[in-house]
Structure 1
Amino acid sequence: MAPLTSYNPVFLALLATIFTWLVTALGASLVYLTKTVNRKLLDISLGFAAGIMIAASFWSLLAPAIELSSSMDNLSWFPASFGFLIGAFFLAGIDKIVPHLHMGQPLKEAEGPKTTWHKNRLLLMAVTIHNIPEGLAVGIAFGALALNMSVDSLMAAIVLALGIGIQNFPEGIAVSFPLRGEGLSKNKSFFYGQLSAIVEPIAGVLGAFLVTIFTPLLPYALSFAAGAMMFVVIEDIIPECQREGNIDSATIAAIFGFIVMMILDVALG
């Protein structure tokens, strides 16, 4: 087996984000099996995904950012706080400049600049925007290996990719099935469902490349990804999984998602 130092962090980030993209495609592929999905089960799955993202934001991103800041003789809280805020504001800014529509909302409630885009494209853009921080998170975690290429660090990055992959499965379902319900064919519904996650390998490679070149930015980059992911959870996933009234079920699922990701990160990462 080749030594760990022989592996390129950017290439590993590409492989990891291709994996998360493929899991999204796997979720979207269920549209070939049935035209509808049990709404309560979908809400539970989305709640579980929200819990995973919340846990990953802290255990896989913020906590390492704080630890790295301390080792670099910085104020341990500043890079994490600053990066977290910038990550959230970055997603809020993207929301303002890119036309999109959240699932379950009427066309008149589309956000961003006015456009003649049809509803399906607006729905796709909403999910695509919110996949950016997931790809960044995985890419930055693997890019961090340039600073510390160890088995523990590699496992931590792999665990994060696994967690993001798990929560991408219901996201693929959440995109493809509404499109199918809007009258699109199975092929188009699947195509757009998986296409929403194609941005993850792009963001992942970019994030990994930047932190390998500018390693002092790593604590800020980790917390940036955390802030962006938390914005997605609060602004999109939680409202979506509670929209049909399955509030308690989705909330309990989020608790379990948090626990699963915490166990994965602490036990394996």
Structure 2
Amino acid sequence: MEELSISQWFLGLHPVWQAFIGGSFCWLTTSIGASVVFIRREVSRKFLDTSLGFAAGVMIAASIWSLIEPSMAMAESLGYSFEWVPATSGFLLGALVIRLGDAYLPHLHLGLPQDMAEGIKTKWRRATLLVMAITLHNIPEGLAIGVLFGAAASGIDPTGTATVAAAIVLALGIAMQDLPEGMAVSMPLRGEGVSAARSFNYGQLSGMVTAPSAALGAMAVIAIQPILPYALGFAAGAMIFVVVEELIPTSQREGNTDIATLGTIIGFCVMMVLDVSLG
């Protein structure tokens, strides 16, 4: 019997498993970013801000080419008179849901003192609050991966923008920007005197939610195919909210405005090229 290649094996999996593996890869890169604490006690704030800017650019580009464009194409194929309606309404709902999570889930943004934690007031430690901040925006990243894998399995996109290849590219792009997010949690803790092992553990925990979120997104759109264009818009809105509310402000808080902005531009271009050329 001829042995299957890795790509053939992956393409033969159920879309939910494909999504779970894609989300797990993002968790892996988050863990790799967090593991820097084992070789360095701190990293340059300028480097970290540039990396966060890069992550923002990747997410913006992914939202456009991997999510909003396929959403509109699917809406057109499903006979919507205005193909922008599902993308727009889904986008607004996604942003609203993350806003509600931001308002009620206790979390702390990078570089802020503990008394500026957002959400419901708790006695959680600083480390836990930092993890929760990254976890909050890893959920829409996982959903985006899962929704696109589910969309690829639906077969209702006549333009071919929602494909397994596009979903893999999206997972790759999100995985790239998860590297600095792992560092963003672990390095500040290490700098405050937390052990390397505990700092790493907190950092990788922030990415753990990506895999189940991806599986959930795939299951939802496979079970209810008519929600596909809305789900793609939802994931885009959730990711853009995270970019504007957290990643960009955090990357520029310490005065590294120009280099962080350059990181955003480069991240956008990298993801755009990946999506258009490989997706």
TM-score w.r.t. the length of structure 2 is 0.93
SS in 2 for 1:117: coil
| Offset at residue 3 of structure 1 (A) | 9.2
Percent identical residues: 54
Aligned residue in 2 for 1:60: 66
Please state if 1:123 is matched with 2:130: yes
* TM-align CA RMSD: 1.7
Q: Which amino acid in structure 2 is aligned with residue 174 of structure 1?
A: A
Aligned length: 269
Query: 2:22 pairs with 13, 16, 19, which one?
Result: 16
Q: Distance in 2 between matches of 1:219 and 1:54?
A: 18
Please state if 1:88 is matched with 2:95: yes
Query: 1:102 pairs with 96, 109, 117, which one?
Result: 109
Q: Distance in 1 between matches of 2:152 and 2:9?
A: 13
Q: Which amino acid in structure 2 is aligned with residue 171 of structure 1?
A: E
| Offset at residue 262 of structure 1 (A) | 0.6
Please state if 1:49 is matched with 2:55: yes
How do 1:196-235 and structure 2 match up within 5 A? 196-235=206-245
Q: Give yes or no for contact 2:26–2:178 (8 Å, CA) kept in 1.
A: yes
Q: Residue deviations 1:85-111, cap 9 Å, x none?
A: 000000000112211111111111111
Q: Which runs of 5+ in 1 are unaligned?
A: none
SS in 2 for 1:133: helix
Q: Give yes or no for contact 2:140–2:235 (8 Å, CA) kept in 1.
A: yes
Q: Distance in 2 between matches of 1:4 and 1:257?
A: 27
Q: Which runs of 4+ in 1 moved over 3 A?
A: 1-6, 149-152
Q: Distance in 1 between matches of 2:184 and 2:165?
A: 29
Q: Give yes or no for contact 2:10–2:18 (8 Å, CA) kept in 1.
A: no
TM-score w.r.t. the length of structure 1 is 0.96
Q: Which amino acid in structure 2 is aligned with residue 261 of structure 1?
A: M
Q: Residue deviations 1:97-151, cap 9 Å, x none?
A: 2111111111111111111112111111111111100011111111112212989
SS in 1 for 2:163: helix
Q: Distance in 2 between matches of 1:42 and 1:148?
A: 40
Q: Residue deviations 1:209-243, cap 9 Å, x none?
A: 00110011010101100000001100111011111
Q: Give yes or no for contact 2:152–2:162 (8 Å, CA) kept in 1.
A: no
Decide whether aligned partners of structure 1 residues 112 and 72 sit closer, same or farther in structure 2, where only a CA change above 3 A counts.
Answer: same
Q: Distance in 2 between matches of 1:3 and 1:148?
A: 20
Query: 2:154 pairs with 147, 167, 177, which one?
Result: 147
Aligned residue in 2 for 1:268: 278
Q: Residue deviations 1:25-54, cap 9 Å, x none?
A: 000001100101011111111111110000
Aligned residue in 2 for 1:180: 190
